[in-house]
Amino acid sequence: MAVYLHDIPLDQAQARLREALEEAGLGGVLAEEYIPLDERAVGRVLSRAVWARISSPHYHASAMDGFALRSADTREAMPTAPVSLLLGSQAQYVDTGDPLPDWADAVVPIEQVEALDSADQPAADPRKPQAIRLRAGLPPWAHVRPMGEDIVATQLVLPAGHTVRPVDLGAAAASGHTHLWAARKPRAAVLPSGTELIPVGQDVRRGDIIEFNSIVLAGQVNTWGGEAVRFPITPDDFELLCARVQQAADENDLVLLNAGSSAGSEDFSARVVERLGELLVHGVAVRPGHPVILGMLRRSAGAAQPERRVPVVGVPGYPVSAALTGEIFVEPLLSRWLGRGAFQPIEVEAALTRKVTSPAGDDDFMRVVVGRVGTRLLAAPLSRGAGVITSLVRADGIAVLPRGVQGLEAGSNVRVRLYRAPEELERTVFAIGSHDLTLDLLAQHLAERGRRLVSANVGSQGGLVALRRGEAHLAGSHLLDPDSGEYNLRYLGQYLAGREVRLVAWVNREQGLLVPKGNPKGVQGLADLAREDMRFINRQRGAGTRVLLDYHLQRLGIRAEQVQGYEQEEYTHLAVAAAVASGRADCGLGVTAAAQALELDFIPLFHERYDLVIPEEYAQNELLKPVFDLMQDAAFRREVSAMPGYDVSVMGRVIHLGSIEPAERA
Ligand SMILES: Nc1nc2c(c(=O)[nH]1)N[C@H]1C(S)=C(S)[C@@H](COP(=O)(O)OP(=O)(O)OC[C@H]3O[C@@H](n4cnc5c(N)ncnc54)[C@H](O)[C@@H]3O)O[C@H]1N2
Ligand code: MOO
C-alpha cells in the first residue's frame, strides 16, 4: 500500500535533522586538515584561529631608499645651516625594506640629501658618497616601518570559522605560517534519477527531460564550500537506485537524491531511504519543494568508517524546488560541517506590486524582482511555477510568506531576502505593461550601459494602471483607439489624466495570425475565426492585441460567441505561439517574431504602433537616459529592424509631452 507524504512545518523538519545529526556525532566540523598556504586555500573555512608566529615586519625596516641615521644627529639642520654626516659611522645607505642598523633610528630619502665626496664635490655614485648633507632635521622613526607595524607576534590574525580570502593568505604568510588548519570539504554525492532524463548534449525527443538539477545542485555544493560528486542518471529501478545510493553513502558525507520524491508510480526515494537507513521526514510545509525527504543512511560493512551515518536529502524533482531545497537544507548543513555561520542574506522591505495568494499551511517562497520607483522599493512577483527555473535566474530575491498568511494585497510590505547587492536595485528600470520581444533586446543593451531592465507583462492597460500607481518607470503600450485609429493617447487620458507624461513611439510592428507550419486549415484572415472547425487562442483582456482583435472582429460583424476559444486567454505573444505549436489551438493573433521563434507560419494582417509611456519625472531621470540614448543608437536600431516584422522609422518620435487631459472611456 502506498503511503503518501505528510507535510510538517519547516522548523520541525530542520530540528529533526539537527537532532539526528547530533545523535550521529555529525553536529559540527566533520574533520580538519592542515593545508598548504597557497592560492588554493581561498574559500576554505579555517577550523583553527591563526595567531601570529612572528611580527611583520619582524625587524625595523627602512620605508624608503635612502640613508639610515640617528635622528639626534640631524637636530640642528636648517636650510641655511646644513648638517653633514659621515658615511659609515653616522649614515648608511639602505634600500626600501632593508633592516635598519642597530644604531640608527630614522631614514632620510635619497632625494632629500646632497651626496658629497668631499666638502663641495658631489659624489660620483650618489649611493656611495663619503658624506651626506641635510638641510632639515628628522624626527625619530621617520621613514621607518617599525617592527610589528603590521602584525605583532601572538596577535590574532584570522579567527576560526573565517572563510579565507586572497588578502587573508598574505597576512597569514607574513605572520610566519606555511600551512593552515581548515575544515575538510564535505563530500556530497548528487544522484539524478528518472527514466525520462537524458544528459546534457544528447538529442531531445518528446517526453525527454534534459537533466540539469544535478548540475545546479553540484554547483551549489561547490559554491557553499563542499565538494560535489555527480553520479550518472539512474533510471526508475528500485534495486539499482538502492545500489547507487548505498555506494554514494559509502563514499561520501552527504547524499542528495534528486526526484522520485512525491507520490508518482515510480517515486521510490522514500522507500530507498527506508531500506538503507532511517526516514526522518517526508514532506515539509514549504512551497515550492514540499515533498522533501530527510533521512540517515547506514554505510555498508565493507565501507570506510562503516559505523558512520550519512544524511540523505531527497530533493524534489521540479527545478525550482530542487534549488530552493539546496538553499533551505543543504547550505545550512554544509555551513555547520565547515564550522561557519549559516549564510545571512541581506533583507529589504518592499511593497508588492500585485495581490498574491498563498497556501495557508505552507511557508511560501515567492520569487520577486525588486527595484526602486520614485521613493518606493517595489517587489514584483515572478512566476510561481516550480518548473520555471528562469524565475530563479531573474529573481532579485525571495519573499517568504509565512505559514498562516493566505495572501497579501497589492501594496503590502514584504521582507525580501536579496540575491544581489542592494546597490544593484537602484540601477533597475521597471517596465510594466505590454510585452514586446524588442524589450529583451533593450534589456541586453541596457545591461551594457549599467542598467537592469525588469519587465512584467500585464498587458497595455495593466501597464497604464501600474504607472498611475507609481509602480513602474515606463510601460509598453499599443492600444488602438477605434474611433480615431490613433494609438494610446486616448487611453492615457483615461488612466493618467493630470499627470505629466511623455509618449514616445518605439516601433511599428506587424500583427497577424499564427498558424501551424504549412497552414493546414488554410487560414486567410480574421473571417476564418468564425469557422466551426477553427479553435482560436486569445490574449487577456486589457492586452493591446485583444483590443485590436475586438476592433477588427466588430468591423467584420463577428461576435465573440462565434469564435471558438475566444475565452481561452494567454498573457504573451510567445504563449499564444506555444498554444498553436502544441496543437492546443489552430490559430492566434500575435507578432511575426513570435511565429518565427516557434517555427509557425504567419499571415500578416495589420501594422500597429507600439509606444513607450514614460512619466516625465522618470523621462528626465538619469536612470532612464540610456533608454533614450538607445533610441538614437544606429547599431541598436539596426538590430531591432533585423527582427522580423519590425520597423524602427518611428523610434524615438515624441507623440505627446506634458500634462494629460482627461478623456472619456475609449
Ligand atoms: N500526486 C502528487 N503529485 C505530485 C506531488 C504531490 O504531492 N502529489 N507533488 C508535486 C510537487 S510539488 C513536486 S515538487 C513534484 C516532485 O516530484 P518528484 O520529486 O517525484 O520528481 P519527478 O516527478 O521525477 O520530477 C518532476 C519534474 O521535475 C523535473 N525534473 C526531475 N528531475 C530533473 C532533473 N534531474 N533535471 C531537470 N529536471 C528534472 C521534470 O520536469 C519532472 O517532470 O511532484 C509533484 N507531483
Ligand atoms: O513542492 Mo513542489 O516542490 O511545489 O514544487
* pLDDT tens track for 598-612: 999 999 999 999 999
Separation in Å, CA 638 to CA 452, 632, 635, 644, 652:
21, 11, 5, 12, 14
Q: What is the mean pLDDT of the chain?
A: 93
Atom of ligand 2 at shortest range from CA of 288: 4
Q: Is 267 in the pocket of ligand 1 (CB under 6 A)?
A: yes
Using most ligand atoms within 8 A of CB, pick from 292, 294, 318, 362 the residue to mutate for ligand 1. 318
Q: How far is the CA of 377 from the centre of ligand 2 (A)?
A: 28
Starting from the CA of residue 5, give the closest ligand: 1
Confidence of residue 634 (pLDDT cuts 50, 70, 90): very high
Q: How far is the CA of 317 from the centre of ligand 1 (A)?
A: 4
Give residue 548's region: left, alpha or beta (phi > 0; psi -120 to 50). alpha
Pair 211, 152: CB distance under 8 Å: no
Q: How far is the CA of 332 from the centre of ligand 2 (A)?
A: 20
Paired residues of 636 in beta bridges: none
Residue of 205, 204, 163, 201 whose CA lies nearest to 180: 163
Q: How far is the CA of 325 from the centre of ligand 2 (A)?
A: 10
Q: How far is the CA of 266 from the centre of ligand 1 (A)?
A: 11
pLDDT at position 593 over 90: no
pLDDT at position 40 over 70: yes
Return the higher-pLDDT residue of 543 and 553.
Answer: 553
pLDDT at 1: 33
Atom of ligand 1 at shortest range from CA of 192: 35
pLDDT at 473: 96
Atom of ligand 1 at shortest range from CA of 214: 35
pLDDT at 383: 85
pLDDT at 263: 66
Q: Is 262 in the pocket of ligand 1 (CB under 6 A)?
A: yes
pLDDT at position 313 over 50: yes
pLDDT at position 260 over 90: no
Q: What is the pLDDT of residues 203-212, one digit of tens each?
A: 999 899 999 9
Pair 437, 381: CB distance under 8 Å: no
Confidence of residue 297 (pLDDT cuts 50, 70, 90): very high
Q: What is the pLDDT of residues 3-15, one digit of tens each?
A: 457 899 999 999 9
Average pLDDT estimate for 458-481: 92
Using most ligand atoms within 8 A of CB, pick from 209, 262, 271 the residue to mutate for ligand 1. 262
Residues with Cβ within 8 Å of 638's Cβ and at least 6 positions away in sequence, in order, are: none
pLDDT at position 456 over 90: no
- Report the share of the chain in percent with pLDDT over 70: 98
What backbone phi and psi angles, to 5 degrees, belong to 81? -130, 80
pLDDT at position 2 over 60: no
pLDDT at position 665 over 60: no
Compute the distance between CA of residue 65 and CA of residue 239 in angstroms, rounded to an integer. Answer: 75
Compute the distance between CA of residue 516 and CA of residue 79 in angstroms, rounded to an integer. Answer: 94
Confidence of residue 310 (pLDDT cuts 50, 70, 90): very high
Atom of ligand 2 at shortest range from CA of 324: 3
Mind listing the domains of the chain with CATH numbers?
10-27+185-332 (3.40.980.10), 32-57+149-183 (3.90.105.10), 61-145 (2.170.190.11), 345-422 (2.40.340.10), 460-659 (3.40.190.290)
Q: Is 192 in the pocket of ligand 1 (CB under 6 A)?
A: yes
Residues with Cβ within 8 Å of 91's Cβ and at least 6 positions away in sequence, in order, are: 67, 68, 69, 85, 131, 132
pLDDT at 664: 63
Whether the bond between 57 and the residue before it is cis, its omega within 30 degrees of 0, is: yes
Compute the distance between CA of residue 230 and CA of residue 222 in angstroms, rounded to an integer. Answer: 11
Q: What is the pLDDT of residues 474-510, one digit of tens each?
A: 999 999 898 888 899 999 999 999 999 999 999 999 9
Q: How far is the CA of 264 from the centre of ligand 1 (A)?
A: 9
Q: What residues line ligand 2, using a CB cutoff of 6 Å?
A: 287-291, 316, 318, 321, 386
Compute the distance between CA of residue 384 and CA of residue 398 in angstroms, rounded to an integer. Answer: 11
Q: How far is the CA of 272 from the centre of ligand 1 (A)?
A: 17
